[in-house]
Each structure stands twice: as C-alpha cells, then as structure tokens.
Structure 1
Amino acid sequence: MSWQRKFNKALVRFTGFQVNRVGNPGITQAPTPAKPSEVEVRPPADPQADRLLTAPIFVISPVRSGSTLLRAILNAHSAMHAPHELHVRRLRVEFGTNLAQKAMTALGHNQADLEHLLWDRVLHRELERSGKRFIVDKTPANAFAYERLSTCWPDARFIFLLRHPASIATSWHEASPDKRTPEEAALDALRYMKAVQRAKSALTGLTVRYEDLSAEPERVTREICAFLGLEWEPQMLSYGEQTVIEKGLGDWRDKIRSGAVQPGRALPDPSSIPESLKSISRSWGYLP
C-alpha cells in the first residue's frame, strides 16, 4: 500500500474526513445527518443554564381553526407576545464533521439537544425584542411535535383550540380551492385534528372552542388568563391592526384584518358532515 493510501485511511479513521481522489485533493463529506427519529430526545440537563425562556405558551390547533384570531387576542395582552407562526421545530442542527459531533458529545450534547438550544434562543430573542414576559406560538404543525415541545420546555403551557371539524374542512378548502377538492381538504385537515387529539390526550392544558371564543370572547379570554395566571385585560377584545398577516404564517383574510372579534359561521348541519369527519366530530362533542 502506498504512503498516500495509508495517509488517507489514517485521516478517515482519526478525523472522519475523506480525501478526494478525483481532481484536486481536498476534504469533503460531512457525516450523514441523523434523522430526528434516530436521535434521543431528552429534557434539558440543566434547565437553569440550558433554557432562556420561561413557561412558553403553545396553541395546539388544526389548520383553519381560529388560531390567528386567538393569537391576535393574546398578543394584545401586555404580558404576552404572540407573533406570526414561527415553525421553529423545522430548524435543524447538523454536525459538519465527525470531530464536531465528537466534541459536542464530550460536552454532553446530542443533535436534539443542540436543536433545542437553537429553538429556545430564537424564541427568547423574539420575546426580548417585544419587551413582554411570555411568548406564544400557534403554528398548527406543532400538533405533530407536541412530545418534542413538551420535552424541550418542561414548563411549557398548552392551549388546545378546537373547532367543528366540518367547518375546519370547509375553510381549508376555501383557503386554496384550486389545490384541494372538498374531500381532499377534509382528509388533509383530519391529519391535523388527529394530531391535536393525540396531544390533548397526552398533555395537560386548557381546551378552548373557536365557536365559544367568537360568541363569548370576554368569558373565554378570562378563562385563558386565569389558566395562565394573568390578569384579564379589556384591550384583548379589540386587538387592532396586525403587523404580520401573510398566507403561510397565519390567517390573512379580511375578517382577521378587522381588528376585533367577529361572529363565526353557523355550525354545519349534522347531515352535511363528511363521513371521514364523523368520528372526530363525536370525540370533540359536535355530534352525539
């Protein structure tokens, strides 16, 4: 074996780097990133040192369930900062080299730990900029990651926002009628509803219905404030103009732009509920 091949093998063995054999020599190829399911997800080793946020608030809801309205209402409170959908769970950390992974392991961090540090820092920075005490994230896709969120922040609070499943499906279809048929919209929205149901069964939190929020906003917002240990503030009912209303980051339609709670649509007739949504409708109390 030539001295160069011996050197290359030693380099791979001790550093994890690979020397190119084609063209100019160079160092390439980081280790293959681990899939989230392959990484141990665990609580912070030292909550005081590892987390900047205190008691973040997550609204766990399906798509088109009124979460942007609830976000706007909560954001009007002097203690709560509820920005647009943040999607922090999609932020990933990868090891650029095997040595980087080895170094972080020696410090006691795996890939999930580093991602949790990143998520916490991003949310804390946004909260600090607002000057408020608590941050609220209402990203609907968080329903699929409730275990990860509750592990990342053991002191997190959860509000489960429900809406009549058939109303959700209709609104989801109306949001992009050229992309989904009514049947496809119902099945796609059902994925979120099932995820919310799983989270609701596993976590402790407050359940709120969109129909109640739109019909009796003061009563419901008082219940939310009591759950969060905050004083109710009347400005929550007239949340004013929103600075970020954009498709993909929350509701963007005229109703939410009004700056005040508007009546919800009438409940659908039970006979009009798609067969695919009847089971979840019963589970949520919208059908006997």
Structure 2
Amino acid sequence: MTLLRKINKTLGSAPGFQIRRVRPRPAAATAAPAAPRAARPVALGRAQPAAVVRPPGDPRVDRLLRQPVFIIAPVRSGSTLLRMMLNAHSRLHAPHELHFRRLEVHFSTGLAEKSLAALGLDRGDAEHLLWDRLMHRELVKSGKSVLVEKTPGNAFAHKRLAACWPDARFVFLLRHPASIARSWHEADPGRRGPEEAALDALRFMNAVERARKRLTGHTVRYEELTDDPATALKGICSFLEIEWEPGMLEYGDHDTGVVAKGLGDWKDKIRSGRVQPGRALPAPGEVPDALRGICAAWGYPAGSAVA
C-alpha cells in the first residue's frame, strides 16, 4: 500500500477527507457558436377549406342588396366609361371598382367555426354576408336605389355572383379583342409586350364568354357606346326597367368616383363629360392569331366591322 493510500485510509476513517493528486486540465477547446434557432412561424389560423358556394338560405333576411347590376367585362374594354355613364342616372350608383370578392372570412379557432355552423352558416355564407353588407352600405350612402359594380375580375367569379345574389342582373360589355390587347399593352408597355398583353387579356375575354354562355343578361359593345351612346344606353335602361335619362350623356358633371389609372387619352375624354368616337377597328392583319377565335365568337371576324 502506498503512502498516499495509507494517509487517505487514515483521514477517511476520521475526518472523512481524502488527498488526491492534482492533474493538469487539458486546454479548453474553442466552443463552436450555437446555431441560431429557427424562428417559429406565426400562426395565422388553421388551414381553411375552399368556401362552399350556395344561394342564401333566406334571401329576405340574408341579403340587403336587391337586384344588383354587374358589368361583366374584360380589362380595357371601356368599363370605366360605361360605369360613369350609368352613374349619371338618378337611380344608378356605379362606384369605382370595389374588388369585394377579395374580402375573405377565416376562422381563427374551431369554436368560431362551430358557432357559425350552429347558425346554419359556413365560411362562404359569411363572406356573402360581408360582401352584401359592404355594397349595401355604399348604395345607402349614395341615396340611390340600384347598385352597379364593374370590377373586371368579376368575370372569373360569375357563378358565385349569381349564387350570392339570385336576383342579380348582368350587363356584358364587349370590345374588339385586338383593341383590348393593344390598349392593355399601351397601359404598361414596360410590363407587357404586345404578345404577352394579348394572351393575358385573352384570359379575361374567355371568362366573359363563359359568363355569357351561363348567365342571362344584356350585351353592349364599346363601339356602340362611342358611336351611338344614346341608343346603347337606352338599351341598357330598357333591360334594367328604368327610364332613359339624357343626362347620362353628360356623365362628367355627375361622377365623383375614382378614375382608374392608365386610361391614357380617355382621362381627358372623361373630364370633358362628353362621349367621343373611339379609335378605328384594327385591320385584319393586326389581329393576333391567338385572338381570332374570340373575335369570331364576339362577331368581330378578323378585324372587320361589327357583324
């Protein structure tokens, strides 16, 4: 037994201490910096299923808006001009584009969803209530009796509009497809080249054509609005069962809505308050191949005059 062990045995049996050899500590290794903790995503609510599209359970209670009018039109088709003309009527309120269908309802808890279900409503129903209330508020503030909405994107949701408001009325606004494509390009030439503009505008045109096939409504052409506005507006008024008012031709004196950006020379025409003839129809060689099908469907065969 070594001396150190003897001493530890003696000390351990009495005071309870031991003696140990001091060993040099190894050089401390440089600790690697801890990896930053990934930020936890902020929960914005549970994933929502697609909204169910269905008519109101009780239209008398579920809808404040009665017989709204929707202008179903592609971009750059003259919908702002038509909106301002209609807004000059004493009974028609046609505000700027509301984009109401982009307003959505989401459940942040399951209890909220169950509570709404107990009322016989789902997310789609709640969105319809929200849309209806928003537009009814706008109509009441105007002091008029009929609301007209013209957001071009509504063409993609025409079936839902018809379900939300079973008594809705639809006005389809057409324009020569090549003229639409040219105007869409000229509105932002740095963003869309001529070919890209034609294909992008065609999406809207095809949506309008699908709506025309599925819904009952009245069709008017941009060329009619500019060449013979009185006759075109009388046709719309007859469809809506309201009296024609000559003051609709003096639309610049009545409108207080927002004039859309990118209207080009139409800004001056709108400010003047009087309708001016539009540009000549495109020549046959100016019609892109991608637009020839929709030209035929709308009665604009390859750039010729309206059929």
Q: TM-score higher than 0.5 here?
A: yes
Q: 1:269 aligns with which of 259, 270, 283?
A: 283
Other structure's SS at 1:63 match: coil
Which residue number corresponds to residue 186 of structure 1? Answer: 198
Q: 1:39 aligns with which of 47, 51, 54?
A: 51
CA-CA distance at 1:246 after TM superposition: 3.3
Q: 2:273 aligns with which of 239, 249, 259?
A: 259
2:152 equivalent to 1:137: no
Which residue number corresponds to residue 30 of structure 1? Answer: 45
Which residue number corresponds to residue 52 of structure 1? Answer: 64
CA-CA distance at 1:249 after TM superposition: 11
- Distance of 2:144 and 2:131 partners within structure 1: 18
Relative to structure 1, the CA distance from residue 250 to residue 53 in structure 2 (aligned partners, 3 Å threshold; closer, same or farther) is: farther
Which residue number corresponds to residue 103 of structure 1? Answer: 115
Alignment of 1:133-212 (within 5 A): 133-212=145-224
What is the letter of the counterpart of residue 47 of structure 1? Answer: P
Relative to structure 1, the CA distance from residue 169 to residue 249 in structure 2 (aligned partners, 3 Å threshold; closer, same or farther) is: closer
What is the letter of the counterpart of residue 48 of structure 2? Answer: P
- Distance of 1:66 and 1:100 partners within structure 2: 43
- Distance of 1:131 and 1:249 partners within structure 2: 28
CA-CA distance at 1:30 after TM superposition: 2.9
Contact 1:85 1:249 in 2 (8 A): no
Structure 2 gaps of 5+ residues are: 1-36, 38-42, 303-307
1:111-169 deviation per Cα after TM superposition (whole angstroms, max 9, x unaligned): 00000000000000000000000000000000000001000000000000000000000
What is the letter of the counterpart of residue 275 of structure 2? Answer: V
CA-CA distance at 1:29 after TM superposition: 6.2
CA RMSD of aligned residues (A): 2.0
2:133 equivalent to 1:118: no
What is the letter of the counterpart of residue 33 of structure 1? Answer: Q
What is the letter of the counterpart of residue 31 of structure 1? Answer: R
Other structure's SS at 1:239 match: helix
Other structure's SS at 2:252 match: coil
What is the letter of the counterpart of residue 128 of structure 1? Answer: V
Q: Alignment identity in percent?
A: 63
Contact 1:59 1:137 in 2 (8 A): yes
What is the letter of the counterpart of residue 116 of structure 1? Answer: H
1:41-83 deviation per Cα after TM superposition (whole angstroms, max 9, x unaligned): 1000000000000000000000000000000000000000000
Which residue number corresponds to residue 27 of structure 2? Answer: none
Contact 2:80 2:260 in 1 (8 A): no
Other structure's SS at 2:301 match: coil
Relative to structure 1, the CA distance from residue 268 to residue 100 in structure 2 (aligned partners, 3 Å threshold; closer, same or farther) is: same
Which residue number corresponds to residue 299 of structure 2? Answer: 285
Q: Which runs of 4+ in 1 moved over 3 A?
A: 248-252
Q: 1:75 aligns with which of 81, 87, 92?
A: 87
Q: 2:238 aligns with which of 205, 219, 226?
A: 226
Q: TM-score, normalised by structure 2?
A: 0.81
